[in-house]
Chain A
Amino acid sequence: MFSKPGSGPAVLRKVTQEASKVDPAKRRDFLKKGLMVAGGAIAGTQFASTLHASQNNLPPNLPEWSKSLGAGVITNPYGKPSPFEGDIVRRTVPWLTADRIAAISFTPLAELDGIITPSGLVFERYHAGVPTINPDEYRLMIHGLVERPLVFTIDDLRRFPSTSAINFLECPANGGMEWRGAQMDALQFTHGMISCCEWTGVLLSTLLEEVGIKPEAKWILAEGSDGAHMSRSIPIEKALDDTLIVYAQNGEPLRPEQGYPVRIFNPGWEGNTSVKWLRRLEVGDKPWYHREETSKYTDLLADGRARKFSYIQEGNSVVTFPCPERPLKEKGRYELEGLAWSGNGKIKRVDVSFDGGVNWQQARLKGLVLPKALTRFSLDFTWDGSPALIQSRSTDETGYVQPTYTQLREARGSSSIYHKNAIHTWRLHADGTVTNVQIS
């Protein structure tokens, strides 16, 4: 199927062109089969010689690339992935929003390894597009219930002692379109509003000490400088805890898409509270109840009441292999993999089921297990060709066990939009393909 990176877009174009001629009722099946035969469909084309293993380049022959020199140093002063990996990109779902300016894109989770999301693949969420900010003209203002209101340049911020932390960044609407039923047929879209980077900056508590907060200070308003000037109220307890004023992402200056040159970052919390393109922090004694914490980012329950200030992103997990983008080609041994995370601390364990939650096996936690960060889990299994309903279920260090859809809907109804962290099911078909389903 997507057997060779780079062939993806071309394959999809051909298949969907054909699919549009097919009776809508049969389109889904056509698409599935179409993708499978696409390998054959492109065999005779120009792609074939470059993307399908050409006999000429296999042992005992000498491949093309071994017979000559390649590009020299700084041909790409800022390096990019191999063109053969051109399929690994952010994507958007156009029907989710009115335009591409106040919109969202998704991280290609299926194609990533480890727990760090490369900066260029971190999902985007904008309310007024990305502003172009000259770092020399950037200022962070802190005022309100303080002894000394101050304005900082980037150089000023970098002079304070810095801290680094590896934390996930998740939009609370991650998976939100599936509260009522399965809608997306790719891992990128079911769970892609999440990333995990190393964030470097100065602790907000250090800056608050520098301005001297008054005893009656209880809340901070964080405000951005893009056209939307997004604003959120943050309790002083969090502000004095692990909240960071960030200027670097994965070792280099914060990316424009993630808030260059400076953002606030609240580990484990709704991504929307980590205001990008930060311009102002006001210290106050009451919350402001602005639009992004009333109209939006509140969770409507079945009884008509709505939860406000639901800051924490609770424990969650998803299997990343197998998944729709990564089907199984044959029977045999595999290493199932997935990601788990919790805004309440470390992941303690992850369990995996192949029968829709009747029986579970404990998975292995792999690599770094950090608080409020993506955590890899894996499980060896042998596929005998039978259909399966694959699930993962995380437990975090507080003992919180990831809920089922039934439990979530019982507690909240289906209109919350945000904070959907239900156990997710992939349906593995006998032909090795994987689709998104919800089960009872």
Chain B
Amino acid sequence: MTPALAETGAYGIGSPATAEEIAGWNIDIRPDGKGLPPGSGSVEDGEMMYEQQCASCHGSFGEGVGRYPVLSGGEGTLTEERPEKTVGSFWPYASTLWDYIHRAMPFTQPQSLTDEEVYAITAYVLYLNDLVEDDFVLTADNLASIEMPNQDGFFLDDRPDTNNTGCMENCKDPASVKITSEPTMTTLQVEETVAAVEAAPEGGEKVYQQACLMCHGAGVAGSPMTGDAAAWKDRIAQGRDKMLSNAINGIGVMPAKGGQGQLSDDEVASAVDYMIRQVTQD
């Protein structure tokens, strides 16, 4: 089908993007608020949603669980030895928060939140960072006016900022050359490396890595940790059918199929069997 001439460029390749097609993918938000859909959300509503959708990785207070990102705190730490860069202490714009939560979160089910939910959860995260009051309602009209503490903390690239010379001889006093640091974690690294170089994972392990590892690998959100026989004891006692049903339908904080709805029941079963093997086989 040839598009009308006015709709093509010199090569005449490609199809016109319809307004509907664009609307479906045009999700970016700018600091001036451009791109925000109509809607609003309160800190009050956001609290419950955050607890359900976010807290298992980010912590009820935004303190971060395991190695998942810390969202709050860290004010005034940017010049310290170990700065804590969070939404409140580091991010320049609130629009970034709305944009990111909407495009990429929750981690296992991106773009599953409604616009209203994104407004509410964004409001709550701002509240966790003491940037709004507990009765605050975030809207398309007021988001751009929220001033973030580190708004002026960024500057454009002005490198190069070093000027080493091409010295070739007697560049420093040989006596000044001293070893100041060496690795201390060789053994741990090697053992972990060995684990990573094992033969290509079979089906069950592959699904496990994709859908289950991120919570069960560290026992996040109260999930039984892989390989922890004590944690799995009661589950195994309930029988494979029950464990399979929990995995497929979800249970408690665990989403159905670990949030990977595209997996078949058989694939989920292979991952469950893999996890069972980790606590039953020697």
Contacts and interface: CB of A to CB of B under 8 A. Distances in A.
Nearest to A130: B210
Given A229-B27, A308-B156, A408 B197 contact: no
A290 B16 CA distance: 27
B161 interface: yes
Interface stretch (A43-51, A57-65, A298-306): A298-306
Given A98-B68, A355-B174, A407 B162 contact: yes
B187 A310 contact: no
Contact of B164 (A152, A305, A359, A402): A402
A189 interface: yes
Contacts of B100: 290-291, 295
A223 interface: yes
A307 interface: yes
A158 to B, nearest CB: 10
Interface stretch (B87-95, B118-126, B130-138, B245-253): B87-95
A133 interface: no
Most interface-central of B103, B156, B213 (chain A CB within 10 A) = B103
A9 B196 CA distance: 10
B32 interface: yes
Nearest to A315: B160
Interface string B161-189: 11111111111111011111111111111
Contact of A185 (B10, B161, B179, B183): B183
Interface residues on B, range: 35 or more
B14 A150 contact: yes
Contacts of B96: 289-291, 294-295
B157 A294 contact: no
Given A290-B96, A308-B155, A128 B193 contact: no
Contact of B178 (A147, A150, A358, A439): A439
Contact of B187 (A28, A92, A415): A28
Contacts of B114: none
Contacts of B2: none
A357 interface: yes
Contact of A160 (B13, B91, B172): B13
A91 B193 contact: yes
Contact of A9 (B26, B172, B197): B197
Contact of B26 (A282, A289, A291): A282
Interface in B57-94: 57, 66-68, 78-79, 82-83, 85, 87, 90-93
A160 B11 contact: yes
A309 B198 CA distance: 39
B273 to A, nearest CB: 20
B11 A294 contact: no
Contact of A359 (B15, B85, B168): B168
Nearest to A303: B79
B191 interface: yes
A403 interface: yes
A218 interface: no
B44 interface: no
A430 interface: no
Interface stretch (B17-25, B47-55, B228-236, B274-282): B17-25
Most interface-central of B153, B187, B198 (chain A CB within 10 A) = B187
B96 to A, nearest CB: 5
Contacts of B172: 357-358
B111 interface: yes
14 contacts: A95-B192, A98-B57, A151-B15, A151-B17, A185-B189, A210-B9, A210-B13, A223-B25, A282-B28, A286-B31, A307-B157, A358-B173, A401-B163, A412-B161
